Amino acid sequence: MSARIAYTRPSITGRETDYAADAARNGWGAQCYDYIIRFEAAFAEHLGVPHALATSSCTGALHMGMAALGIGPGDEVILADTNWIASVAPVVHLGATPVFVDIDPVSWCLDPDAVEAAITPRTKAILAVHIYGNLCDLDRLHEIADYHGILLIEDAAEAIGSVYRGQRAGSMGAFGAFSFHGTKTLTTGEGGMFVTSDSDLYERVLTLSNHGRARGETRQFWASAVGFKYKMSNIQAALGFGQIERVAELTQRKREILNAYRDRFSMYPTISMNPEPRDGVNGAWMPTVVFAPETGVTSDIAIQAFASAGIDARVFFHPLSSLDMFKAVPSNINAWDIASRAVNLPSYHDITADELNRVTDVIATLMETRAS
């Protein structure tokens, strides 16, 4: 029996382990922020934004950013029903109300028409999540946000390497948030990044991130607000600095893997995958296949077939509104329907051609047995 194929696994080289070892040996006292500063600067430059703040997670970055924007009780935040729980958790923690809308059937991201229809006098923000690296229709979402005087926030946790009309995902909203969880394209184990082009917002988040202690405050241990403690450690930042130096290679490889699958499955008109944006680049975090209804292939059938072949495929995100803590919105037809016939495929950096073939064989068998 061949070795099990993992669905994600980080790519850590001597560069990252050297930096991490250096941080562990020397990154204390006056040097305790050195890698954090370098990682933040390199990340901001990569993204093309003036401000980046390393955090303990993407969830923390979203929480602080939304808090700094004043999102709270009585406010509604619109987001796609298809999402990871982390995107909505900060909305709930802040006492605001999440409003789940349907997804576009091609991009699997927010359907702008559904967003527009969901706007009320209480709507405070649209949370645009670039799911699996696919890009939201930011032009339309910006138009809607500007027209109604509401905020547009980007959760770009899955979209490092994604580019929309020449601008990097995460750089186009009031703020953007990234994740460096171990499953993501660029990883620090756990970790995240808050990015913004708004200097005032950056200062507010910087203060919140340090337990409400403002930069330049001369009184020791003086907090001017109750803030958060969502910081990244210098040792994690050392890993991150090594990873961001390799970001072109890491995202290029993700695209190669997505394109390899795309080529192999192009013979099946009843399989669709992550779309390439018309005027941009898909960062290809998570290659995903959606089986057309007429194939009869469901997520359960596919996951079972992969498991039997020793392959770790994953289910498409459940609609958030299908979870027990929220009110079901089955009228979000695409979010509910697509999840029932889609799977994420293995896509880690060092996946071999043989392993890609094994994944392809499972798909081929599913298509043969089901389509006939």
In the complex, which residues of this chain contact ligand PLP (CB under 6 A)?
57-59, 84, 86-87, 129, 155, 157-158, 179, 181, 192
Q: In whole angstroms, how close is the CB of 221 to ligand PLP at the nearest point?
A: 28
Q: In whole angstroms, how close is the CB of 320 to ligand PLP at the nearest point?
A: 11
**What is the C-alpha separation between 261 and 361, in angstroms, rounded?**
11
Radius of gyration of the chain (CA): 21
Pairing type for strands 288-291 and 342-344 reads antiparallel
Q: In whole angstroms, how close is the CB of 317 to ligand PLP at the nearest point?
A: 9
Question: In terms of DSSP H, where are the helices of the chain?
Answer: 14-26, 34-47, 58-68, 85-93, 112-118, 138-148, 199-209, 234-245, 247-265, 299-308, 333-338, 353-371
Nearer to ligand PLP, 16 or 158 (CB): 158
Q: How many CB atoms lie within 10 A of CB 39?
A: 29
Nearer to ligand PLP, 84 or 194 (CB): 84
Q: In whole angstroms, how close is the CB of 46 to ligand PLP at the nearest point?
A: 18
Distance from chain centroid for Cα 24: 29
Nearer to ligand PLP, 129 or 362 (CB): 129
Q: In whole angstroms, how close is the CB of 39 to ligand PLP at the nearest point?
A: 15
Nearer to ligand PLP, 150 or 177 (CB): 177
Nearer to ligand PLP, 58 or 329 (CB): 58
Q: In whole angstroms, how close is the CB of 117 to ligand PLP at the nearest point?
A: 23
User: What per-residue string of b and e applies to 64-94 under the rule 16 or more CB within 10 Å gives b?
Assistant: bbbbbbebeeebbbbbbbbbbebbbebbeeb
Question: In terms of DSSP H, where are the helices of 293-343?
Answer: 299-308, 333-338
Q: In whole angstroms, how close is the CB of 286 to ligand PLP at the nearest point?
A: 9
**What is the C-alpha separation between 62 and 67, in angstroms, rounded?**
8
Nearer to ligand PLP, 125 or 362 (CB): 125
Backbone angles phi, psi at 91, to 5 degrees: -60, -45
Q: How many CB atoms lie within 10 A of CB 248?
A: 11
Nearer to ligand PLP, 232 or 302 (CB): 232
